[in-house]
Chains A and B, each alone.
Chain A
Amino acid sequence: MAVFEPEAEGIVLDVEETGGDIVGRSPWALAGRRFLRNKLALAALGLFILIVAVSLSAPLYAKHVAKTDPFKSNVTGTVTIDGKTIDVIQEGTGKLGLGETPIGPTWKSQYFIGADGQGRDVAARVLYGGRASLFIGFGSALLACLLALVLALVAGYFAGATDLVISRLMDLIWAFPLYLLAISLATVLLARPTDKPLKIGPVTLTAGSLWIPLVIIGLVYVPYVFRPIRGQVLSLREKEFVEAAVAQGAGSFRLVFREILPNVISTVVVLLPLMIATTILTESALSYLSIGVQAPKASWGTIIEDGQGLLYTRPWVAIAPGIMIVLTVLALNVLGDGLRDALDPRSKVRMK
């Protein structure tokens, strides 16, 4: 019988003896488990992937299903439905009988949801538009998050004058009402005559390039992502584990990368889908106002703008891309919520 001596070894616990199993899991694994249990978030992820896949398949759709080039004007074209040949653009069906009206939805492979004012296949355009919107949405969100992350790490970690300068700069950009800043930059850049494209170093940006709206929207949202991350870095700095690392002789670089960054990453991970949702909405607004994506390219926003003139006669041109936006943004929001719940579950859910 062991005597309870202060110097004796602690009792070795047998897993069987305690009767329970204590399995260590990393916080990421725990979060992953929680996320996988969230059916709604998984459905949202699935929806988002579906939308991306469908948009990426735009060229296939255009070639094999719609059999058309959705960027080429087709004002005089015809389409054969049920054996009958119909003009794509017909006599006006509006009240005054003036003008022309493109055909409405055929619900068949060609001109599935009809044609726009230029006789182009709207369904195919919506798919191509998805590529542009998703590209810009994802790219600008990523740009904003990465840039904000770097700036926030620098500002939060070095604090003092560095922080002051960077923070004031962010405040200035943020003070500029969001749309105004985007609109200003876009208007100015796009106001160039088409024969004089913008040259930045080796890169030539034509007015129709998708990179312009991408960079503009990305820059505009940097302050928004910057603020919470900087706050977190500032408070992490004071935590004991950072002190401990410093006591071990860690240099600045290592501290930022090994100690602070991993803790901040989860905030960025949660923010990313929400930012993509925001940037997609912003891009669609800018494109709708004709200062985002430019012809000949198309995005969901530009198609809505195309559909504005046809709103009362051929509403599907405007409705379809909007539905795509709603579905994508909704999926991203649910996904973002799911990620946040997985990484920081404080709510009590009723168990079976």
Chain B
Amino acid sequence: MAEPLLDVKDLKVSFRTEDGLVRAVDGITFSVDEGEVVGIVGESGSGKSVTMMSVMRLINDPNAIYEGEILYKGRNLMGVSQDAMRQVRGEEIAMIFQDPMTSLNPVYTVGWQIEEQLNEHNDLNKGQARQRAIALLTQVGIPKPEQRIDDYPHQFSGGMRQRVMIALALSCNPDLLIADEPTTALDVTIQAQILELIKNLKQEFGSAVVLITHDLGVVADVADRILVMYAGRIVEEGNKEQIFYDPQHPYTWGLLGSIARLDRPRARRLTAIAGQPPSLINRPQGCSFRPRCPQAFDRCRAEDPQLTTKVGDGHLDACHLSIEDKRERRDRTINPELAETA
């Protein structure tokens, strides 16, 4: 098996605050292979954004403390110099953000901003840079790119702006693209277009994608593998089929149960996961999901469950319930109409 493109080993990110040490990311290990699309799913505060921002070393907080390793193509990014990191950013790993309205500098034209990145990492003359920028805009589906290249961000619609962001991110052919909630701020119809675009990136550019979202529906189509995060840890990990057809963790069940699905009878109400995410300063004893978990039993309070492979190859979860127990309760929870799946 080839070396993974991105290999995160036991990453911990904490922040010193007035009220104590906030453990935003509490020991995560995962990897991304070349050309793979990985979805990271979790609610606000689960640590998903902090994880990937740490990969890019974009967190500008003097109160942040890091532990663990982030290996990119074998190199530990945590230890490289600022200069080296700058070269990685944009050229090897690129990132697009949630709000396209504010993510582009309002006083420079779109073309200027793309060319700025091109010129930083490549040696092109003015004409070449401009041509490349126009080509990129075409590739992400912006109409009349030769004219639009001289427009300012506020002259584009939200969806168009996000496309520009994607063009920007891909301008130097990065091997890894991180998309942090790229569709959350957009209308549903535009969401579909952007996701389609991201799906095609694998073909067109050959880059791996890490897609961060709180919406399982978003990753259903696009992702190869899915990580479910809760309270700074990964609670379940598996490929698309495993997560959607054989989810092992009660939190995942909750997430799935809260999605409206076309293949379900309409009469069902959507389930909500009761309660609030836990304090990241004082973790509850044992399993961090226990206070909200209807399946919790005494072992859950005593022992912190580890993320291990229980049911199948590449399918990990962090829950004490036995596989049979899980299947039984899950079916009752998510889809009582469906027969047991093996």
Q: Are B279 and A22 in contact (CB under 8 A)?
A: yes
Q: Are B63 and A351 in contact (CB under 8 A)?
A: yes
B64 to chain A, nearest CB (A): 10
B282 at interface, CB cutoff 8 A: yes
Residues of B near A22 (CB, < 8 A) are 279
Residues of B near A13 (CB, < 8 A) are 275-276, 291-292
The answer for the CA separation of A1 and B295 in the assembled complex, in Å, is 7
Q: Are B279 and A4 in contact (CB under 8 A)?
A: no
Q: Max chain B CB contacts within 10 Å: which of A3, A8, A19, A348?
A: A19
A194 at interface, CB cutoff 8 A: no
B253 at interface, CB cutoff 8 A: yes
- Selected contact of A4 from candidates B269, B270, B275, B333, CB within 8 Å: B333
Q: Max chain A CB contacts within 10 Å: which of B254, B268, B291?
A: B291
The answer for the CA separation of A27 and B309 in the assembled complex, in Å, is 47
The answer for the CA separation of A197 and B62 in the assembled complex, in Å, is 64
Q: Max chain B CB contacts within 10 Å: which of A10, A14, A17, A22?
A: A17
B285 to A, closest residue via Cβ: A19
- Selected contact of A350 from candidates B63, B279, B283, CB within 8 Å: B63
B196 to chain A, nearest CB (A): 33
Q: Are A348 and B61 in contact (CB under 8 A)?
A: yes
A235 at interface, CB cutoff 8 A: no
Residues of B near A4 (CB, < 8 A) are 250, 253-254, 257, 271, 294-295, 329, 332-333
Q: Are A19 and B283 in contact (CB under 8 A)?
A: yes
The answer for the CA separation of A11 and B268 in the assembled complex, in Å, is 20
The answer for the CA separation of A21 and B278 in the assembled complex, in Å, is 10
A254 to chain B, nearest CB (A): 33
The answer for the CA separation of A6 and B18 in the assembled complex, in Å, is 38
Q: Are A11 and B284 in contact (CB under 8 A)?
A: no
The answer for the CA separation of A2 and B291 in the assembled complex, in Å, is 13
- Selected contact of B291 from candidates A3, A8, A17, CB within 8 Å: A17
A18 at interface, CB cutoff 8 A: yes
Q: Are B271 and A20 in contact (CB under 8 A)?
A: no
Q: Are A3 and B278 in contact (CB under 8 A)?
A: no
List 3 tightest A-B contacts by C-beta distance, closest first.
A20-B279, A10-B274, A19-B284
- 24 A-B contacts (beta carbon < 8 Å): A1-B294, A1-B295, A1-B297, A3-B332, A4-B257, A4-B295, A4-B329, A4-B332, A4-B333, A6-B269, A6-B270, A10-B275, A11-B291, A13-B275, A14-B291, A17-B290, A18-B278, A18-B282, A18-B291, A20-B282, A21-B279, A21-B282, A348-B62, A350-B63
Interface residues of A (CB under 8 A from B): 1-4, 6-8, 10-11, 13-14, 17-22, 348, 350-352
